[in-house]
Amino acid sequence: MEVRRILLSVIHKWWLIILLAAVGGAIGYYQYFLTAQTLYSANTTLYALNKDKIASGQTISTQDLSVSQGVVRQYSGIFYSRSVAEAAAKRITDFNVSGAELASMVTISSAEDSTVLTVRAEASDPKIAAAAANAMADEFISQIRTITNSDFIGILDPAQPPDNPIPNNGLKKTLLYFLGGIVVALGIIYVIEYFNTSVRSAEDIEEGLNLRVVGIIPEHDIR
């Protein structure tokens, strides 16, 4: 297919490009500006170290760190248990949050080969986000201490209500929808031209019928 023919078709169908670009931009604007929920994020930082050694003034060895890292990996799954979420929800009864809701808004993570964990909570209210992160962290620590009968994990930095919401990059995402509309329009135009078998020039006759054009009757406006 000739590039010139496609370009001419794009020019002739400029309205389709503008229409689909506007539709894509409108969808993006509606999704990320008009209906998007404002979320706040709060983090509680935990540590996992042998507090008995620290209290007695002993030096923390590489082996101690390795043991702490192993414990972090081994017991992190407890954080997502139903018992932890339900018990944590009872710690923040002022916000009327169920255990299932609390579990859905909180995550725990740690860097590779690290003894520091981060409990992250996202909620539409900054106070709920901070309370959820702290409640889950407190209950997680309580469960770990009960299971291991040790005091190796604790809170390093409790969560505070955030001042600003999480950026949703609405402008960038809306622009992507706008560009997506243009791409869809160009794709439609290309498909239309690809399946269009109408003859538009002498070259089309020569290519389609493998015949040489002897002459062309010019078009006249006879009145």
**44-86 pLDDT, tens digit each:** 998 876 555 545 555 555 555 565 666 666 777 888 889 999 9
How much is the mean pLDDT over the chain?
Answer: 81
Distance CA 76, CA 152 (A): 14
**159-185 pLDDT, tens digit each:** 999 999 988 888 898 999 999 999 999
Helix (H) or strand (E) holding 75: helix 62-75
Better-predicted residue by pLDDT, 183 or 221? 183
Percent of the chain with pLDDT over 70: 74
Distance CA 14, CA 8 (A): 10
pLDDT number for residue 218 = 64
pLDDT number for residue 17 = 92
36: Cβ–Cβ under 8 A, 6 or more apart, which residues?
A: 168, 170
Q: Is the dihedral of CA 64, 66, 67, 68 positive or negative?
A: positive
Tokens, residue 85:
């979420």
pLDDT bin (cut points 50, 70, 90) of residue 145 is confident
Nearest CA-CA partner of 6 in 191, 181, 182? 191
**29-48 pLDDT, tens digit each:** 888 887 778 899 999 998 87
pLDDT number for residue 90 = 92
Confidence (pTM): 0.65
pLDDT number for residue 154 = 83
pLDDT number for residue 216 = 60
pLDDT number for residue 45 = 92
Mean pLDDT, rounded, for 192-212: 64
Give the CA distances from residue 42 to residues 53, 115, 127, in Å, rounded to whole numbers and listed in that order. 31, 20, 9
pLDDT number for residue 59 = 54
Percent of the chain with pLDDT over 90: 36
Residue 206 above 60 pLDDT? no
Better-predicted residue by pLDDT, 223 or 26? 26
13-27, 139-153, 167-181: which range is least confident on average?
Answer: 139-153
Domains of the chain: 3-35+169-209 (no CATH), 40-157 (3.30.70.1130)
Category of 57 on φ-ψ map: left (φ > 0), alpha (ψ -120 to 50) or beta: left
Torsion of CA 204, 205, 207, 213, to 10 degrees: -120
3-class state of residue 197 by DSSP? coil
**120-141 pLDDT, tens digit each:** 999 999 999 999 999 999 999 8
